[in-house]
Structure 1
Amino acid sequence: MSDDPDLNAAYALQTPEDSRQLYARWANTYDTTFASANGYVLHMQVASLFVKHGGKGSVLDVGAGTGLCGAALTAHDIKPVDATDISPEMLEVARAKGIYRKLFTGDILRGLDVKDGTYAGVTSSGTFTTGHVGPDALDEVMRVVRTGGRITLSINAQHFSAQGFAAKFASLERDIHGLTLTDVPIYSPETTGDHAKDLARVASWIKR
């Protein structure tokens, strides 16, 4: 892994500890050296689809990072929004923006310190991707949302196919309804480079 954090380093992550180390180094420059420099727009896509499908607060933003998706949600007047992320350093950057009601460090793969059915919605942008989180984490996402709550999250399109997300959604069929899968660009049309044309599949559904 390169000493300088970048998208290739993020895609090369293998373990939660790898994620903690990378994002600890990247936190203070993430918004400029990654999001702005690469025309990253996925957070706006997720927030827009959450609103389009009728999502409302209170919302837990999973893998909130520096607060990009949280800012997009509040721009749509979705409130209150709480944030969780594996990286306390990323959350400190988000905290300074004044977006979130509450922020807490958490590993979605190990379970979050949240009571069952706490939230009316969950969003996640850029967390379900190569080197990060697979389909098993959907169980924890479902647990923290109340019946009738809206979940909208992005899944890297290649990761969706390679890691068996379709089978996972099929296994959840009795517990969800209104599932939509929308392919969206991760980056703006002006972006260049190896990952410029990468797509995410934004899954949105209601918990029964």
Structure 2
Amino acid sequence: MVNFVLVAGARLGAWAWDDVVPWLREAGHGVRPVTLSGLAEKQGVPAGQQTHVRDIVDEVERLDLRDVVLVAHSYAGVPAGQAAERIGKRLARVVFVDSDVPVDGESFAGAWPDGGAGVEASLAENNGFWPPAPASHYDGHGLTERQIARIVADSTPHPGRTLTEPAVLSGPLSSLRATYVLCAPAGEEPDDDVAQLVADGHWRLVRMDTGHWPMFSRPRELAQVLLDAAGE
């Protein structure tokens, strides 16, 4: 048995994994979906980038979890990649689900093509928060109208400092035992940093022919990908 710790991306909470959790538990594993500070039921809790790192580490240590498979979607890859090296021997594997990965000294927003200018402008206009995305943001990702409506209804503003504060890493990402799940049509490739880690044999690449939110569009298939990664 392993312990899956599931962390969803920006604006989402533990609820985003509701359709994935039963498949993992049915396979006999422990499952701990995490809501990061300032989001969902934790709205109002002040949060910066390192707060989210501590959220993940504290959940593992508080429950004394071992054989942890840390799963991070989208934005959550940045704090999860930092938390992974701090979890140490408790960690079995990291699974990055169509996610960003941390770069020491660089923020989530700073990795964007515009250097984060668009995100920072949005934060300035919304009292320091990244507002929930409109329904149109989810078009073309294999989601039903009902699934999109659920995401829009349950998303919450994302605390801005978590997006603009830099990541802090003490070692290279190549030291992590990791699987990267690329959610994209066949033929697309991951970002250069991830592609290099895969090419060098440090990480394994798995492709899913679906959009950026597979926990909604393909929950059973994603659960199987996670189970396969746990068995590696």
TM over 0.5: no
TM-score (norm 2): 0.35
Structure ranking higher in strand proportion: 1
TM-score (norm 1): 0.38
Q: Which has the larger radius of gyration?
A: 2
